[in-house]
Chain A
Amino acid sequence: MTELGLSILSLAGPLSLALVALLSCLPAIGTAIRIRHMLRATSALGICSAFGVLGFSLAAGAGASVDARGAYLGAAFRVDLLGTVLLCVIALLFSVIARFSSTYLRGESRQGVFLGYLAGAGASVKMMVLANHLLVFWLTWMTSSLFLFALLRFHSERPRAIRAARKEFCIARLSDASLAIAFMLLFQELGTGALSQMRHLAINECPPQVAGAGLFLVVAALLKSAQVPVHGWLIEVMESPTPVSALLHAGLLNAGPILVLRFAPVLEASTVGAWLLVLGGGLTALFAAVVRQTQASVKGALGFSSAAHMGFTLFCCGLGAYPAAMLHLVGHSFYKAYAFLSAGSTAEKMQTVSTRSTYGQKELVRPILSVLLACSLYALSEHFVSQVLGTAHGLAAPLGLVLLLSLTHLFYVGLSSTRSIRPPSWLLLRAVCVASLFLGLETAWHFVETAVVFAAPRRPPSLRWVALMVTALWSLPIFVPWIRLENRPWARRLRTHIRHGLYIDVMLSRVIPGCSPVSRRSTALVGRP
């Protein structure tokens, strides 16, 4: 296929969406019913084009006629495996969300406008993953967040929506600024804006500009993906219709990890950046995952869970485990989109959960047994995988620890659900499933990705030790139910503080103007977008 054909194919999705977004602004054409039809058609087109491109690049990669690392569409865009996979994921998610919204918001007076913003956000994210120029990347990075801002203000009569949107706006602009600095430094060093030139960066004699660029990139990613301490807006933006939350948590929030994946070669130059990712992401993962356990509202819990997963993905990136990060990113997108869109059935699901029983709350047999079971299963499967692959390759140590902790948790909750301590067969089956899928997918993906996309990352050994320590910290919350702390006064106090997110968000909101829930000024300036 010619270059022109490929450009048309890959850009058909985002451009048609952009057209829908434009048309929705024209009151004569943009009636809700027309926009609905157009959006359905364009999102289907988006899926076709994305998978067409994927097919092409796989075929081309095998034929080696095109540079395996990407085909170029003029100066601005290119198609490579990372971009194409992300494009497919985004196209699928977007089509589901668009379809959902066209029924869900029927009868809402401004549905046409809403779908227009949605199309705009979809178009910018799709273009972002295809971008091959710093300027294009930056522009799409910013426009996607502006469309999100517009969506968050969809109910501009709600003070809480305005407050949250304002907070998001401030943090997103900081992230834009940080990215702009990074890109300027990068442009200065490369002399060109083309992303494809990055692999020619000589890492060994790395100039300080590149290290600086890496640092600013990391800061931009951390800000974008709602990492502590700027996670507050992510929890507060439930003031927009459910599909916005789905789009945000499954799509736009991923921009941070996508940025790091895209600019992985630059990050090689910045050890500080990697440290920041490991610490920032790792601690957010711990913090948000624990806070999540105390949240009583579905969307609040899902919000903290998203922050935790983003933290984990960035942690993997910092560690250099790009394939793991990528796998987690894609899996999380599907999982979270489903969780949000089906949030209305929580009460239905609760009816079965309320009959759940737990056994053995104050004894040590089950905890110890589950640790032993998890360890042995882990060792077995690790051994098996390396046997099959014929190499000694396993998981990076922190990832292995995550699997181990997960298995322990699974065994513990499984054993507590039965009266006898003999592990039931379904539990063993589940555990084997988890272990083999985790190891299998991670390893397989690792091979694919490192072969095609990423050069082997290099990280100082000290970083790995720190990462291991962070992961060790993650084991703390697993022990919470074991000691059954809930009834001790100090534990109740701790729970109160944790439920309020250790007040981190309150302290941040005091700094940002117009975000205070007790000041009338924050709601006085409300106007329609």
Chain B
Amino acid sequence: MTSLAVIREVGRRIAPAWPLDRLVAVNPYAGLCDRSFVDATALLHEVSGARSAMSLPQLRVLWENDAFKEEDVEAALAEMKSDLTPAELYSWLQDKQTEVQMQASTQPTVCTVADVVDAQLDTCWSSFLVEHLGCFCASHFDAGYAHWRPPQDTPIFTAWKEEAEVDRTLELWGAPGFRAAIRALPDSPEDAVSQVLHALRIPEDAQEKYLHRLAMRMLGWSSYISQLVWDQQRFGRVDDDVMVQWFAVLLAFEYGLYCSLVRGPLDKQWQQCIQRFAELTRCPQTMKSHVQYVALQSALEHSFRRQLAQKLQSAPENIHSIRDTSLPPSSRTRRPLFQAVFCIDVRSEIIRRHLEHVLVDIETIGFAGFFGFPFEYVPLGHRRGHAQCPVLVTPTHRIHGWVTDQAGHDTSEQSIREQNLRLQNESTWDLFQKGPISSFGFVSPFGLFYLPKLIFGASAPRVRQDKRFLEKPRMTSEGNTEPATGIPLADRVKLARNALRGMSLQRNLARLIVLTGHGASTANNPHASLLDCGACGGRPGAVNAQVAAAVLNDADVRNALRNENIWIPEDTFFLAALHNTTTDDVWLLNRAEVPESHEAELALLESGFAKASACARNERSKRFLSPEREASAKCAQQIEQPREVNWARRSQDWSEVRPEWGLAGCASFIAAPRHRTRGLDLEGRAFLHSYNWKEDDGFAVLEQILTAPLIVAAWINLQYYASVVDPELFGAGNKTLHNVIGGNLGVWEGGAGDLRIGLPWQSVHDGEKFQHLAVRLHALIEAPTTALNAVIQKHKSIRDLVDHGWIHLLVMNERGQIDGVYAGGLTWRPWGVPNQRKYRL
């Protein structure tokens, strides 16, 4: 393999990370899923010291609190076919010495020039170069924060080289000749790469690990680069090989240090180090401890699975009364009064359950929150839009926003004019405030006016319904051809058909069907879009709900669908709604368009939503009672009545770092008809996708579920997993230290350092304990195993996940019970029978 091919291969192993305005959960192990879980995490440990499971003290606490039991450990070991005995594992878990050994092994075993220098000269160049290069990247990719920015379109290697040739910082800190060394490098990144690899004498078979180590040292920026490559491929832009450029920068930095610091005895050290590279095999001791960690992790997951099975089993007796009223739709003689489609997001589970409880005659449906309409949305007056669909999907259409007055006349022109004027005004004022000298002229008189902002920003919550909702997606380009907007009829019909099929909404449609997207309203929160809908590209799902409702209400579309034997009754109306996950309010977005004939139902629905929201809030408030408050409530004998959480404040308070728990806790994915789980308290930990395999011809929908929503759920779950097991490397750190860089590129933790990716500490931890239990996703699907096998065999993306232990696949039977467990290699074993398959490490 040439070194460029090695770079591309290593670059592929780095998962992408999106900027703050479109943060979506990403599986940090995404590039490594073609290896087994044990193997991939062992590799990551070698090149970055990453942890693969919860730390020993955490596991010990879980063990002592009976979070997993002996039977789970035995089952896990049996499944892994490991030589370990349970007794050995328990003593390892209890032994305090183990931690000391583990601490010593958190250092990566693959070395870089900076590591060798640091070890020999007692310096910390490696952390310094992360800071220094991190600062450069922030400035280079700056999207508009700094007023004096470098030119936008210079490739990163060229820009870096130009800067490194004149930057004196390194030489002042004691790396003489650094600039000269960089100046001597060729200008082309490809040549620079081969020259540096040659000069450092990296043997060919060690290149892969060495480059992986370099990329992992700056994981944040490497992930950012990986995202650039991802989006280039997704939108089919010209590939200028930014990954090679990036590795050229990383290598050139090493080369500069090598030239200036490594000589004499140090050079010998370096040679020994690369010698070891070549013969680097896994240390059996480390590998053993690795397996021990994974065994305990699996035991924990066994315990979760056991509890899930119990819960499903206990269901029929406990919730008998509810079952009666919620017969499967096919057996109904009467149409349901309402149907409500929610995102599969785990936060929907709570409000769906309460909604079903409040409005008995409602049917709720789980579907990906973009409702199957992948488009790019350009808000009114904006030049560029953003993709309102999962990052795995390429948007196929572009839709512009517009506004109308009461009578329905287009007022966009006027609105754009007003908006432009406001924009000019505001941006001028912004530049004036921050300008080099004008800031003095600004602060003297206008500083005093910040006092009210300061006081009311701090204490008075401003509850506002987002202004954005006045704006609607423009579905057709009638009347104005420029710019083209909307979706052509043929595509509208196709998308509507697929959406209805995916939602299992082909017959027995209710009079009112609510399509509920979701978004979160938080204040002063750099990671706000992480709480929005991941299926809508890290944005609120309001526009998707509006587009879907508009298409499905469209008479032309309905006529065309009728020809395809999909019958939408005349009196069925699709409502678009937004579920605010922070306050659990549901806002109806096209309420004004509801025909008068539906007013009575609408009133019932609205009051149902209001009640369900209140119940959902009540349930969620338990999770917000901080331990200290619980203690004080105990003292005051008030534990019976959980204190009301002030949701309006929480969502608008600028000092709130935990406005909501997001998807923390997510552990299972259930694709089955809703009546299998209706009435079950799944604690807001399950992704619920409605799916009825009996209505699925050719299992096309199953294929879609396994290759899109399930993968997204796995990404989210593994993102949380990684942020909990190794918050230093895969988490975004402490929110109270966050420092937004480049306007919306991302955050630093503190004043410098690497770009921080993943979830902030406060999103997974409440100060006392983790709010997310690190377990891999359990996908529970009701479908014939032959059909599942066919899909798994066909798609590598899902095969990698299930065959390599990144998610657990379970199959559900018609009684809503777990029936079988996927045992790898397209084999299944019945539930309750120990595994016979040998787990390959």
Looking at the assembled complex, report how far the CB atom of B163 sits from the nearest CB atom of chain A, in whole angstroms: 5
* Selected interface stretch from A69-77, A131-139, A334-342: A334-342
- The verdict on A346 contacting chain B, using a C-beta distance below 8 Å, is yes
* Selected interface stretch from A3-11, A154-162, A183-191, A456-464: A154-162
| The one of A32, A438, A486 that contacts B444, using a Cβ cutoff of 8 Å | A438
- As a 0/1 sequence over residues 479 to 510 of chain A, the CB contacts with chain B under 8 angstroms (1 = contact) are 01100001101001101111110010011001
- The verdict on A197 contacting chain B, using a C-beta distance below 8 Å, is no
Specify which chain A residues have a CB less than 8 angstroms from the CB of B173 in the assembled complex: 506, 510, 516-518
Interface residues in B132-157 (C-beta closer than 8 Å to A) = 135, 138-139, 142-151
* Selected interface stretch from A101-109, A118-126, A258-266, A384-392: A101-109
A434 touches B139 (CB 8 A): no
Specify which chain B residues have a CB less than 8 angstroms from the CB of A109 in the assembled complex: 767
B741 touches A296 (CB 8 A): yes
In whole angstroms, how far apart are the Cα atoms of A16 and B516 in the complex?
52
B430 touches A353 (CB 8 A): yes
**CB nearest to B435 among chain A residues:** A409
Looking at the assembled complex, report how far the CB atom of A313 sits from the nearest CB atom of chain B, in whole angstroms: 9
| The one of A312, A437, A517 that contacts B446, using a Cβ cutoff of 8 Å | A437
B737 touches A155 (CB 8 A): yes
- The verdict on A453 contacting chain B, using a C-beta distance below 8 Å, is no
Interface residues in A169-205 (C-beta closer than 8 Å to B) = none
Interface residues in A336-357 (C-beta closer than 8 Å to B) = 337-338, 341-348, 350-356
Q: Which of B425, B429, B432 has the most CB of A within 10 A?
A: B432
- The verdict on B284 contacting chain A, using a C-beta distance below 8 Å, is no
B444 touches A417 (CB 8 A): no
- Known contacts A96-B458, A103-B653; decide if A352 and B751 are in contact (CB<8 Å): no
A355 touches B148 (CB 8 A): no
Specify which chain A residues have a CB less than 8 angstroms from the CB of B632 in the assembled complex: 33
B457 touches A300 (CB 8 A): no
In whole angstroms, how far apart are the Cα atoms of A304 and B762 in the complex?
29
- The verdict on B820 contacting chain A, using a C-beta distance below 8 Å, is no
B441 touches A406 (CB 8 A): yes
| The one of B147, B653, B745, B751 that contacts A299, using a Cβ cutoff of 8 Å | B751
**CB nearest to A240 among chain B residues:** B737
Looking at the assembled complex, report how far the CB atom of A200 sits from the nearest CB atom of chain B, in whole angstroms: 32
- As a 0/1 sequence over residues 97 to 137 of chain B, the CB contacts with chain A under 8 angstroms (1 = contact) are 00000000000000000000010001111011001000100
- As a 0/1 sequence over residues 436 to 448 of chain B, the CB contacts with chain A under 8 angstroms (1 = contact) are 1111111111111
Specify which chain B residues have a CB less than 8 angstroms from the CB of A434 in the assembled complex: 432, 441-442, 445-446
Specify which chain B residues have a CB less than 8 angstroms from the CB of A312 in the assembled complex: 440
A-B contact count (CB 8 A): 349
Specify which chain A residues have a CB less than 8 angstroms from the CB of B524 in the assembled complex: 341-342, 344-345
Interface residues in B620-642 (C-beta closer than 8 Å to A) = 626, 628-629, 632
A347 touches B21 (CB 8 A): yes
A352 touches B457 (CB 8 A): no
A289 touches B525 (CB 8 A): no
| The one of A334, A354, A486 that contacts B447, using a Cβ cutoff of 8 Å | A334
Interface residues in B55-90 (C-beta closer than 8 Å to A) = none
- Known contacts A104-B736, A289-B439, A441-B444; decide if A503 and B20 are in contact (CB<8 Å): no
A518 touches B125 (CB 8 A): yes
Specify which chain B residues have a CB less than 8 angstroms from the CB of A285 in the assembled complex: 440
- As a 0/1 sequence over residues 432 to 461 of chain A, the CB contacts with chain B under 8 angstroms (1 = contact) are 001001101110000000000000000000
- The verdict on A407 contacting chain B, using a C-beta distance below 8 Å, is yes
Specify which chain B residues have a CB less than 8 angstroms from the CB of A348 in the assembled complex: 528
B751 touches A413 (CB 8 A): no
- Known contacts A103-B653, A297-B138, A517-B173; decide if A350 and B453 are in contact (CB<8 Å): no
In whole angstroms, how far apart are the Cα atoms of A506 and B168 in the complex?
10
B118 touches A293 (CB 8 A): no
| The one of B145, B151, B425 that contacts A346, using a Cβ cutoff of 8 Å | B145
Looking at the assembled complex, report how far the CB atom of B485 sits from the nearest CB atom of chain A, in whole angstroms: 18
| The one of B135, B148, B526, B766 that contacts A347, using a Cβ cutoff of 8 Å | B526
Residues of A contacting B: mostly: helix
In whole angstroms, how far apart are the Cα atoms of A312 and B428 in the complex?
23
Interface residues in B441-487 (C-beta closer than 8 Å to A) = 441-451, 453-455, 457-459
B437 touches A294 (CB 8 A): no
B437 touches A413 (CB 8 A): no
Specify which chain B residues have a CB less than 8 angstroms from the CB of A161 in the assembled complex: 750
- The verdict on A239 contacting chain B, using a C-beta distance below 8 Å, is yes
**CB nearest to B159 among chain A residues:** A492
- As a 0/1 sequence over residues 774 to 811 of chain B, the CB contacts with chain A under 8 angstroms (1 = contact) are 00000000000000000000000000000000000000
In whole angstroms, how far apart are the Cα atoms of A281 and B660 in the complex?
46
* Selected interface stretch from A17-25, A55-63, A423-431: A423-431
- The verdict on A242 contacting chain B, using a C-beta distance below 8 Å, is yes
B441 touches A438 (CB 8 A): yes
B626 touches A107 (CB 8 A): yes
A324 touches B428 (CB 8 A): no
- The verdict on B169 contacting chain A, using a C-beta distance below 8 Å, is yes
Looking at the assembled complex, report how far the CB atom of A318 sits from the nearest CB atom of chain B, in whole angstroms: 15
**CB nearest to B19 among chain A residues:** A347
Specify which chain A residues have a CB less than 8 angstroms from the CB of B454 in the assembled complex: 92-93, 96, 334, 337-338, 341
B655 touches A441 (CB 8 A): no
Specify which chain A residues have a CB less than 8 angstroms from the CB of B450 in the assembled complex: 331, 334-335, 337-338
B125 touches A342 (CB 8 A): no
Looking at the assembled complex, report how far the CB atom of A246 sits from the nearest CB atom of chain B, in whole angstroms: 10
In whole angstroms, how far apart are the Cα atoms of A198 and B150 in the complex?
53
**CB nearest to B653 among chain A residues:** A103
Specify which chain A residues have a CB less than 8 angstroms from the CB of B187 in the assembled complex: none
Looking at the assembled complex, report how far the CB atom of A497 sits from the nearest CB atom of chain B, in whole angstroms: 7
| The one of A238, A413, A486, A506 that contacts B172, using a Cβ cutoff of 8 Å | A506
| The one of B162, B163, B168, B751 that contacts A238, using a Cβ cutoff of 8 Å | B751
| The one of B128, B436, B744 that contacts A477, using a Cβ cutoff of 8 Å | B436
- The verdict on B242 contacting chain A, using a C-beta distance below 8 Å, is no
In whole angstroms, how far apart are the Cα atoms of A383 and B227 in the complex?
58
Specify which chain A residues have a CB less than 8 angstroms from the CB of B453 in the assembled complex: 338
In whole angstroms, how far apart are the Cα atoms of A389 and B536 in the complex?
61
In whole angstroms, how far apart are the Cα atoms of A299 and B77 in the complex?
50
Interface residues in A61-106 (C-beta closer than 8 Å to B) = 92-93, 96, 99-101, 103-106
In whole angstroms, how far apart are the Cα atoms of A241 and B738 in the complex?
8
Q: Sorted from nearest, which 5 A-B pairs have the closest CB atoms? A: A331-B447, A107-B767, A406-B441, A238-B751, A477-B436
Can you show 12 pairs from A to B with CB atoms below 8 A apart?
A235-B751, A238-B739, A328-B440, A338-B454, A338-B457, A343-B740, A350-B143, A353-B427, A406-B432, A410-B428, A417-B428, A427-B425
Residues of B within 8 A of A (CB): 20-21, 118, 122-125, 127-128, 131, 135, 138-139, 142-151, 162-163, 166-169, 172-174, 381-383, 421, 423-432, 434-451, 453-455, 457-459, 523-526, 528, 626, 628-629, 632, 653-658, 734, 736-745, 748, 750-753, 762, 765-768
Residues of A within 8 A of B (CB): 31-33, 92-93, 96, 99-101, 103-109, 155, 158-161, 164, 235-242, 285-286, 289-290, 292-301, 305, 308-309, 312, 324, 327-328, 330-335, 337-338, 341-348, 350-356, 402-403, 405-407, 409-410, 413-414, 417-418, 424, 426-427, 430, 434, 437-438, 440-442, 474-475, 477-478, 480-481, 486-487, 489, 492-493, 495-500, 503, 506-507, 510, 516-521, 523
6 other A-B residue contacts (CB within 8 Å) besides A106-B657, A330-B448, A335-B446 = A241-B736, A312-B440, A346-B743, A350-B145, A406-B432, A417-B424
